[in-house]
Amino acid sequence: KASSSELFHHPLVYLTGTNAFKLHAAERENLRVYLRRGGLLLAEAACGRHSFDEAFRREMAQVLPGAKLSRLPQEHVVFRFPHQVGRVMPTPALARRLGSRGRIKPVLYGATIESRLCVIYSPFDLSGGWALSHGPYDEGLASEDALALGVNILALALME
């Protein structure tokens, strides 16, 4: 739970969902303190759901006022180590949404506190790829690319 003191025992916490949500004031404050003390939040919109995306962006604006959730540049270490992730294969549903017929540049957003990345967010599904299981409407990344990006995110969390 975002309000739990257990949060502080982990260098990385993971948030995912398909629906809109709203954090309580105590959850926002605890998450803010966690991030300011060096924690990293990894979040993704499961299945690429817009309702979760909108809610996550709204909540992050309240958790970290003044910290902007910005698209990470392709030169960012999260795309380069330990795997080079320059282009990724979207699932068929995401390819239809984007009008893509092949590999695309990976999309991750981040927020920083004092130049330290404290939030990594994917508006597209990663966990379906991690589970090697995609539904026909999952807007995400193919398994191989989702796994490579996930390993890079974990490596970054351990190096910070």
- pLDDT (tens, 9 = 90+) of the chain, 160 residues, equals 899 999 999 999 999 999 999 999 999 999 999 999 999 999 999 999 999 999 999 999 999 998 999 999 999 999 999 999 999 999 999 999 999 999 999 999 999 999 999 999 999 999 999 999 888 899 999 999 999 999 999 999 988 7
pLDDT for the residue numbered 160? 73
- Kindly list the distances between the CA atom of residue 153 and the CA atoms of 148, 156, 158, in Å, as whole numbers in the listed order: 9, 5, 9
Judging by beta carbons within 10 Å of its beta carbon (0-12, 13-18, 19+), is residue 92 exposed, middle or buried? middle
One-letter amino acid identity for 53? Answer: D
Identify whether the C-beta of residue 83 lies closer than 8 Å to the C-beta of residue 128: no
